[in-house]
Amino acid sequence: MQYFGQHRIVGGVYSRVRGRAVIHDSVADALRAYAPGESGGGTIIATGLSASASSGEQASLIEISSSNYLTGMSSTTSSISLSAGGTQALAIDVGPALGGAVYFAAGSFSGWTPGFSLGGKNVPLNMDAYFTFALTYPNQLPLLNNFANLDPQGQATVAFQLPAGSAPSLAGIVLHHAAAIIGPLLTVDAVTNAVPVELVL
């Protein structure tokens, strides 16, 4: 989307990677990210973009993602409360051509880029302790139904569940989840995009 002549805000875009709207605040010379329904100052994710304290300019923001993986994972939940707990349902939809295939979803708390190569495809997750846990203990809390078969339409739902009363020191951490689709000869047929979820108080 594009804004012209608005005070402070001159450009914005919805980021599928972050699951948030990102706007360019020209007065503060910063990019601010906003979860659905969020107001106020948002979260500053970058600074030093252009000349500050300018006005009347026109700007556009675009998001460029790798063509090496599908945009086959989505969620309507962008944050989970540490105190209340909750679930992020991660919907996989890669189409009927991959219906019935095995999928394996994993997560990372250290980001989605640069990721790593698997079967000639880039998996948009950085390997860390959480990633290793998801691979070692599939279908166990906090990541349920992460190793199974897609239905005939190429769809499935993975659930990231956070219990109530989780440590408040985790506030601000953004986890990402993505899935690899495995073929009958153990080939990597597809990899989804990464979907974020922020842990908040």
Domain end position, chosen among 60, 85, 109: 60
Going from the C-alpha of 132 to that of each of 114, 122, 127, 138, the distances in angstroms are 17, 17, 7, 10
Cβ(87)–Cβ(125) under 8 Å?
no
- The pLDDT value given to residue 197: 97
Give the separation between CA 112 and CA 96, rounded to whole angstroms: 27
Domain encompassing residue 172: 73-200
- The pLDDT value given to residue 191: 96
Tokens 């599939």, residue? 138
- The pLDDT value given to residue 1: 35
| pLDDT band at 47; cut points 50, 70, 90 | confident
Specify the CATH number for the domain of residue 137.
2.60.40.10
Task: Look up the pTM and report it.
Answer: 0.71
Decide if pLDDT at 38 tops 80.
Answer: no
181 three-state secondary structure: strand
- The pLDDT value given to residue 3: 35
- The pLDDT value given to residue 92: 97
Indicate whether 78 and 53 sit together in one domain.
no
Q: What is the mean pLDDT of the chain?
A: 85
Decide if pLDDT at 189 tops 90.
Answer: yes
> Is residue 164 exposed (0-12), middle (13-18) or buried (19+ Cβ within 10 Å)?
exposed
Going from the C-alpha of 138 to that of each of 133, 141, 149, 167, 199, the distances in angstroms are 8, 9, 13, 23, 22
- The pLDDT value given to residue 102: 97
| pLDDT band at 6; cut points 50, 70, 90 | very low
- The pLDDT value given to residue 62: 63
What residues does 74 pair with on adjacent strands? Answer: 91
Indicate whether 167 and 100 sit together in one domain.
yes
Give the separation between CA 37 and CA 58, rounded to whole angstroms: 25
User: What DSSP string runs through 69-123?
Assistant: SB--EE-S--EEETTT-EEEEEEEE--GGGTT-EEEEEEESS-SSS-EEETTEEE
Indicate whether 154 and 98 sit together in one domain.
yes
pLDDT in tens, 81-113: 999 999 999 999 999 999 999 999 999 999 998
| pLDDT band at 34; cut points 50, 70, 90 | confident
